[in-house]
Structure 1
């Protein structure tokens, strides 16, 4: 077993990294965990952005509905 450089693994595709498992399964596993952690953080950030956008859409709906009701009075 050889020790793989973590910086090199970061630059490789998932298939390339997986193909090196026979050389250093521990480094490959750690790179997988690192990528998973980054993806989880991105998903959490995106979920917050989606919730904020949904709230903005609901607020816009209230504004538009109120405007239409006022226009209907005239």
Structure 2
């Protein structure tokens, strides 16, 4: 019983230490990317605005998709 308790404590301490290291690593990475965010610009994809479709066209597209899915 005592040996099982020791193994449980060692296992839980190992998991706790790993989680603490994981949190510290994530906070460090967050601080790094905040500080040097100007070096990592986000790429924005330009998308064309969808043409205003009538409700009938939207229903036709939905029915076509259902028909294509069912085969």
TM-score (norm 1): 0.47
Greater C-alpha radius of gyration: 2
Q: TM-score, normalised by structure 2?
A: 0.48
